[in-house]
């Protein structure tokens, strides 16, 4: 029997919603034996704690086992935060992280490029606006000014937050 990921997603979403958390991503890997793993990534404003992950793991694991929602033998359930370089995949993700630095790849090139990185200035009506940093000056040429690029959400192949560490190593 194959795993019904939509059923599992429903279980996880009920548990996370009741705890004030959000389900960011769900993935199931492996086909048999000990290599099978169900990964659940959760988040909340301000970040998740170890206790949040433990509580979700305990509750989701119990429900999935009682409902026999993961047939085919043993599996490992892993619950964690999406990390500092969190994947952005839903429109809600882009709206939530306006102002954050983003690294993304497009399906189709824009101005000859598919790879972009910069602060996400806005997300509205299915369009992202990224601020691209100024290009470095080449010998004898002036620095290119910073500019913006508009990218349709439907053209985003992959996007992640870029961790920014402020004040690391400074004495201010």
Q: What is the pLDDT of residues 118-142, one digit of tens each?
A: 999 999 999 999 998 755 444 555 5
* Stretch (H or E) spanning 50: helix 50-66
User: What pLDDT is stored for residue 144 in this prediction?
Assistant: 56
Which tokens hold the place of 26? 């769900």
3-class DSSP state for residue 31?
coil
User: Is the overall model pTM greater than 0.85, yes or no?
Assistant: no
Q: Tell me the per-residue pLDDT of 44-89, one tens digit each, with 9 for 90 and over.
A: 888 899 999 999 999 999 999 999 898 888 889 999 999 888 999 8
The DSSP 8-state label assigned to residue 142 in this structure reads P
What angle separates helix 50-66 from helix 5-18, to the nearest 10 degrees? 130
The DSSP 8-state label assigned to residue 100 in this structure reads S
Which tokens hold the place of 171? 């004495």
Quick check: 16 and 42 in contact, CB under 8 A? yes
Q: Is the pLDDT of residue 167 over 80?
A: no
The residues with which 117 forms a beta bridge, in sequence order, are: 103
Q: Which domains does the chain have, with CATH numbers?
A: 5-80 (3.30.300.70), 91-161 (2.30.30.180)
């Amino acid at each position: 029997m194959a795993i019904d990921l939509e059923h599992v997603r429903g279980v996880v979403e009920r548990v996370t919603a009741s705890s004030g958390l959000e389900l960011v991503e769900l993935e199931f890997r492996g086909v048999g034996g000990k290599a099978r793993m169900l990964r659940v990534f959760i988040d909340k404003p301000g970040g998740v704690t170890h206790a949040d992950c433990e509580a979700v793991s305990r509750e989701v694991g119990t429900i999935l086992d009682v409902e026999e929602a993961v047939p085919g033998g043993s599996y490992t359930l892993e619950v964690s935060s999406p990390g500092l370089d969190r994947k952005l995949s839903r429109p809600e993700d882009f709206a939530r992280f306006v102002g954050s630095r983003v690294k993304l790849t497009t399906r189709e090139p824009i101005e000859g490029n598919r790879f972009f990185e910069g602060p996400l200035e806005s997300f509205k009506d299915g369009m992202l606006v990224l601020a691209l940093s100024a290009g470095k000056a080449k010998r004898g040429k002036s620095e290119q000014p910073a500019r913006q690029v508009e990218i349709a959400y439907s053209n985003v192949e992959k996007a992640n937050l870029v961790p920014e560490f402020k004040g690391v190593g400074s004495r201010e």
